[in-house]
Each structure stands twice: as structure tokens, then as C-alpha cells.
Amino acid sequence: MENNAKIIALSGKGGVGKTSVSAAIVKLLVEAYPDKKILAIDADPAVGLSTALGIEVETTLDDIRKEIVATVEDGNTKAAIELLGDARYKIFDALVETDGFAFIAVGRPESAGCYCKINAYLKEVISLLSADFDYVVIDGEAGVEQINRRVMEKVTHLLLITDASKKGTQVISTIKSVADELVMYKKLGAIVNRIPDKSIIEHINTNGIPVLSYIESDNNLAFFDIEGKNIMELPEDSNIVKGVRQALQELEIL
């Protein structure tokens, strides 16, 4: 069966608001498509998307991976193989079902030791999981690492998030170069976030990457951060909600 899910992956340098944009995408999809199945994947080790969406995370994919690794290290291969078989079911323990969407966190990967087969298997599980949903939003970690490790080797829409800085636009250019070689995507575009005002737009150079929207700094978002409110409650006239809606319309997702 062909998977027709729209998989929207976000990437860009740290500190440009990827997580807020990801949460705003989830908010708009939930409102626009109440009858569709929507999955938010937090693939950033900082696990910020859960906070932005008001989700409590108890288990991550990495917790499941660690359990498998520990069993392998104990020399209990048979149990490890069984665990891999169980991983598919365990994933559902890590899946948080909430109003209008589901959520899963990848968690913090261990730096020591390479368990490529297990990581590959978990990636396979993410693909299997994605097949059950109509829309999947992946909040990726900063930089090109995840694309290099091919955590996102098949996405339908790659959204590159930058601020107005030269460094930010250089990073999305690098990510696009890597993605062009390693990632199968159908559509790609940039969101320039947190611009001080519209007058600087003409000075921003995204090196040929089409810009879907420019989003001015959002006071609503700043207040929400301070008060610990989640982005699902942001008013419709917030800059980030308006800007993300425009980007999703450009991509024909809304």
C-alpha cells in the first residue's frame, strides 16, 4: 500500500525558532483537518516541541533503543532479537495521543557506541508509524546532522528555517546542498523567522532558496513563553500563525 502521508520536516541552525514554527504547523493542521490523522515527531534532543505543544513526555524512542542496547550488551542476543520484534509495539508506549494529533519524541541519542542496525530499525519503525498518519511534522535538530544520518531520507516537504542573519542563511544553503544529495523531497522552501521589521527583507539573501514567508518577531509568542502557555492557544492574528499559514498555503498543504 502506498503511503500518501505528507511528511513535513523542518531544519535550520539553532535558535531560529524551528520548534515554534513546527508547533504552529501542528496547530494549523489540526484546525484545518479535524478528520485527518496528524503526527508530530520531536527529533531534536532538546525535546522542546513537547513543551510548545503542551505534551508530557514519559518515554522516548531512545529509551526503547537503550533497553535493546542494554540487552545486547548483557549478551542476551535472543532476548535482544525479541526486543526488536517488540519495538514495533513498544513504540506505541512512547506515542502520546492528544486532542487532534499524536506526538512522539526521539530523545537524546547516546554518543558512545554505534548501534547502527538498531538505529536503522528504529528509523524503519518511524517510517512504519508515519504510514498510519495523513500528516507528519518532524522538528529536526539544528544543522545538517540529521540529514547526514538520513533520519529524514524521505520527506514530501522540507522546510528550512532561518532568521535574518548571514549565518542562518548560510546554514540553510548548506542543508539544501546536503539534502539535494541525500534526501528525497518533493517541495522545499524557506521561512525567514524573527525579522525585526519588513524593511530588511530586501537585504536578505537565501542563495536562491524560495522564501515561503517572512515572519516578524512575535510578542504573543514571547508572552506565551514567559507564561508557559503552549502554542496551540496562540491567537490567529499572531505573526507566527499568520506567517506559517502563508508558508503552508504556498506549499499547497493548506
pLDDT digits (tens, 9 = 90+) for 71-113: 766 766 666 566 666 666 777 778 999 989 999 998 866 554 5
Please name the residues in contact with 233: beta carbons below 8 A apart, sequence gap of 6 or more: 224
Q: What is the pLDDT of residue 199?
A: 94
Task: Tell me what pLDDT residue 120 has.
Answer: 66
Tell me: the pLDDT tens digits for 111-126? 545 556 555 665 676 6
Domain boundaries, the chain: 6-58+95-110+132-250
Query: Quick one: how far is CA 175 from the chain centroid?
Result: 15
- What is the per-residue pLDDT across 148-204, written as a single tens digit (0 to 9) for each? 666 667 889 999 999 999 999 999 999 999 999 988 899 999 999 999 999 999 999
Residues 6+ apart with CB under 8 A from 252: none
Residue 197 identity: D
Kindly write down the DSSP assignment for every residue of 99-166, as one continuous string: TTEEEEE-----SSS--HHHHHHHHHHHHHHHTT-SEEEEEPPSSSHHHHTTTTSB-SEEEEEE-SSH
Structure-model confidence comparison of residues 126 and 37, the more confident one: 37
Asked if 191 contacts 177 with a C-beta cutoff of 8 angstroms, the reply is: no
For domain 6-58+95-110+132-250, give its CATH number from 3.40.50.720, 3.40.50.2000, 3.40.50.1820, 3.40.50.300. 3.40.50.300
pLDDT for 1 equals: 42
- Taking residues 239-249, report their average pLDDT: 98
**Nearest to 6, CA basis, from 210, 158, 230, 167:** 158
Output phi, psi for 160, to 5 deg. Answer: -100, 120
pLDDT reported for residue 67: 76
